[in-house]
């Protein structure tokens, strides 16, 4: 439904679009920053396809910034609210009839619904992003923003003012690296990242059988995916982000690794081969200084190096803001490229669709930040000095030295128990088979009998 509405106080009125089944679920607001002050208001369209919202005295409080698509100014235009919830203005004259001049889907408020996109046009700089409301009953532009970051690999980032608050992790071909649960509802909502010269965007679509759904950025910067349960008439929360402490952007600082299962160390550790820059602060649970490499690399640009890689498995990949991405490279080429560059600290596959180790190449040169363990996470290859890797192997080796004898002892013990049990069991069987032999002979009893003679 497109109409006038008043959230909270009745003296502020807005033009918006909401789900007809649920009036409170406003998905778009036209005049969010310039409400009407009374009940007099008119939404108009002119011949050129511009929408105007006029107040009681005929003054324009809001207008659509319609661009004249195609050839010249149209002589006639029409506005239509589509079934998808998109308000479109199309040309209604002989020339390029039906061409879209303006659409509300291009100007999101705080909500993304099926068919809308979050992203940007790298050629024009135009952006489709979400801006939170100021409060639950005030749709004015709030502090939080959610936009697609197109530097490095595409990922979606929530901001509060100028501060990054949460990052989905880079798109890995199937889902955003830090949001593996996206795969669990792909039967209802298909997720896609489009990368074209004129568009880098995240688009979600609903399958025919899917319930109504919306992705809403709250006043607090929390993004929720809600789905409508028509039976009980409630919006259910399907997914939410940030989910936990480790989702706080760069929680463990540079080269830190966040683990929600280690509450004792306030969730922060360093990636393998790294130690806290300031152990004193770290022990006070202040992770801001981050971690540093404990052994320097053996770095000879372009030449041979003895360095190797530690695999940090099951993680949301670090921020790719300043990373170098080559989707065409193989993982093996990526490894070689990283070893050949002194500044390379880590690499990973850009795309995991093919299975195996994945394909494509992301190379980090500066700090790596915002790494956390996550279900179905990816492998991150961290460059380390040979001695560091040897130490890790030795540790694994000494573990093996302890584990082997223990395992051997256990095996012997279990074998003995089994033998004793077998002996007892056979004893009982012998009695049985004697009884059978006496009453009549079967194959089975003969077999047992034969055994008995052994
Ligand atoms: C209207 O569009 C022009 C060109 O696309 C842009 O420069 C301008 O900032 C827009 N104005 C508003 C109010 O969005
Ligand atoms: C990327 O580089 C810029 C400029 O050096 C820096 O301010 C920013 O923090 C870096 N981003 C990340 C994620 O490291």
Tens-digit pLDDT profile for residues 253-289:
999 999 999 877 778 999 999 999 988 888 877 888 8
What kind of fold does domain 109-243 have according to CATH?
A: Agglutinin, subunit A (2.90.10)
pLDDT band at 368 (very low <50, low <70, confident <90, very high): very high
187-196, 328-337, 404-413: least confident range: 404-413
Residues 260, 251: Cα–Cα separation, whole Å = 11
Pocket test for ligand 2, best of 250, 366, 367, 371 (most atoms within 8 A of CB): 366
Report the separation in Å between the CA atom of 65 and the middle of ligand 1, taken as the mean of its atom positions.
6
| Centroid of ligand 2 to alpha carbon of 386 (angstroms) | 28
pLDDT at 440: 39
Give 376 Cα–ligand 2 centroid separation in angstroms. Answer: 27
Ligand (nearest to CA of 50): 1
Cis peptide before 240 (omega within 30 of 0): no
Ligand 2, atom 10: closest residue by C-alpha: 322
Question: Which atom of ligand 2 is nearest to 367's Cα?
Answer: 14
Domain 1-107 top-level CATH class: mainly beta
For residue 341, is pLDDT > 80? yes
Domains 1-107 and 109-243 share a fold: yes
C-alpha 185, offset from chain centre? 13
**pLDDT of 32 above 50:** yes
Rounded to the nearest whole angstrom, what is the distance from the C-alpha of residue 321 to the centroid of ligand 2? 7
Report the pLDDT averaged over residues 430-440. 42
- The answer to whether residues 207 and 187 touch, using CB atoms and an 8 Å cutoff, is yes
Ligand 2: residues whose CB is within 6 Å?
Answer: 319, 321-322, 366-367, 369
Q: How close is the Cα of 322 to the center of ligand 2, in Å?
A: 6
Instruction: Tell me which of 399 and 224 has the higher pLDDT.
Output: 224
Residue with CA nearest ligand 2 atom 3: 322
- Report the percentage of the chain scoring pLDDT > 70: 87
Distance (angstroms) between ligand 2 centre and the Cα of 300 equals 25
Q: Where are the domains of the chain?
A: 1-107, 109-243, 288-384, 399-453
The confidence score (pLDDT) of residue 446 equals 38
Q: Which ligand is nearest to the CA of 106?
A: 1
pTM for the full model?
Answer: 0.81
pLDDT band at 387 (very low <50, low <70, confident <90, very high): confident
- Selected from 3.90.1640, 2.40.160, 3.50.4, 3.30.230, the CATH number assigned to the domain covering 288-384 reads 3.50.4
The per-residue pLDDT for 54 is: 95
Is pLDDT at 175 greater than 60 in this prediction? yes
- Assign 425 a pLDDT band (cuts: 50, 70, 90): low
């Amino acid at each position: 439904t497109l109409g006038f509405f008043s959230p909270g106080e009745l003296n502020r009125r807005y033009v918006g679009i909401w789900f007809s089944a649920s009036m409170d679920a406003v998905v778009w607001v036209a005049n969010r920053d310039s409400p009407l002050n009374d009940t007099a208001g008119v939404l108009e369209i002119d011949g050129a396809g511009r929408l105007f919202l006029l107040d009681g005295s005929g003054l324009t409080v809001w207008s659509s910034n319609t661009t004249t698509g195609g050839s010249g100014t149209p002589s006639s235009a029409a506005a239509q609210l589509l079934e998808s919830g998109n308000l479109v203005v199309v040309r209604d004259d002989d020339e390029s009839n039906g061409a879209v001049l303006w659409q509300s889907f291009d100007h999101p408020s705080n909500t993304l619904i099926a068919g809308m996109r979050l992203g940007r046009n790298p050629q024009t700089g135009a952006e489709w992003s979400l801006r939170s409301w100021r409060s639950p009953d005030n749709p004015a532009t709030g502090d939080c923003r959610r936009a697609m970051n197109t530097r490095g690999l595409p990922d979606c980032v929530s901001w509060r003012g100028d501060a990054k608050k949460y990052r989905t992790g880079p798109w890995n071909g199937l889902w955003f690296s830090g949001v593996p649960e996206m795969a669990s509802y792909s039967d209802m909502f298909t997720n896609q990242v489009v990368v074209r010269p004129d568009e880098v965007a995240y688009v979600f679509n609903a399958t025919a059988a899917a319930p109504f759904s919306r992705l809403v950025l709250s006043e607090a910067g929390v993004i929720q995916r809600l789905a409508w349960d028509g039976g009980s008439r409630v919006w259910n929360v399907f997914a939410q982000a940030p989910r936990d402490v480790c989702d706080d952007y760069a929680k463990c600082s540079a080269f830190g690794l966040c683990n929600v299962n280690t509450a004792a160390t306030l969730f922060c550790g360093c990636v393998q081969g790294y130690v806290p820059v300031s152990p004193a602060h770290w022990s006070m649970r202040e992770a801001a200084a981050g971690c540093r490499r404990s052994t320097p690399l053996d770095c000879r640009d372009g030449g041979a190096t003895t360095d190797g890689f530690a695999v940090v498995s099951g993680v949301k990949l670090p921020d790719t803001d300043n990373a170098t991405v080559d989707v065409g490279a193989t993982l093996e080429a990526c490894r070689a490229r990283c070893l050949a560059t002194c500044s390379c600290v880590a690499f990973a596959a850009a795309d995991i669709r093919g299975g195996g180790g994945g394909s494509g190449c992301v190379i980090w040169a500066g700090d790596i930040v915002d790494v956390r363990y996550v279900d179905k996470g990816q492998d991150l290859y961290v460059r380390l000095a040979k001695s560091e890797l040897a130490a890790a192997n030795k540790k694994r080796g000494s573990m093996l030295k302890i584990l082997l004898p223990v395992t051997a002892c256990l095996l012997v013990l279990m074998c003995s128990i089994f033998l004793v049990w077998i002996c007892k069991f056979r004893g009982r069987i012998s009695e049985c088979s004697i009884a059978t032999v006496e009453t009549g002979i079967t194959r089975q009893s003969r077999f047992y009998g034969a055994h008995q003679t052994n």
